[in-house]
Amino acid sequence: MKDTDYDNIIGRLSNLFSLKPSMTFQDTNGQQHTLQGSLEVKGIEGQDNKKYILDLLRLSPRDMNYPKPEESGCVLRHELIESYQMVKAIQAVEVQLKVEFDQANEEKNQALKKEIEAEQDAEKKKSL
């Protein structure tokens, strides 16, 4: 089986876990490879000719509430990471909407101010 078969699977998993390619290295033939995920992730082909990916635990960040080395299995759940990403995305959209809203209000206020000034100038000319 070719490594590219696993590259596609690991690439899809990396997207699911929101991971970017993290390391580039050269093999003994001088060919460049990019690692996605963790060094501990393994791919095997079963007797049923299906591809299996093992040791996905290291794709999730450790929970820093458990700093001891023997607690290395304490990782953040994927749902928590997704929730955090969603909150950050919503906050970014809210900031952008506020900026756009403020700009639109400023433009509207400037146009209204010009209209009022034009009306006042017209009234002054009529009164003269």
Rounded Cα distance between 74 and 62, Å, is 6
Per-residue model confidence as pLDDT tens digits over 14-27: 888 887 777 777 77
Q: What is the mean pLDDT of residues 95-115?
A: 94
Residue located via tokens 């900026």:
99
Tell me, what's the pLDDT at 83?
A: 93
Which tokens belong to 79?
A: 């749902």
The residue type found at 11 is G
Residues 6+ apart with CB under 8 A from 20: 14, 36
Which tokens belong to 54?
A: 């093992």
How confident is residue 3, by pLDDT bands cut at 50, 70 and 90? Answer: low
Which tokens belong to 53?
A: 């990916």
Rounded Cα distance between 104 and 80, Å, is 36
The SS3 of residue 39 is coil
Give φ, ψ of 35 to 5 degrees: -95, 130
Rounded Cα distance between 110 and 84, Å, is 39
Q: What percent of the chain has pLDDT over 70?
A: 97
How confident is residue 60, by pLDDT bands cut at 50, 70 and 90? Answer: confident
Which tokens belong to 4?
A: 């590219």
How many helices (DSSP H) and strands (DSSP E) are in the chain?
A: 2, 4
Higher pLDDT, 116 or 126: 116
Q: Judge whether residue 64 has pLDDT over 50.
A: yes
Rounded Cα distance between 64 and 71, Å, is 10
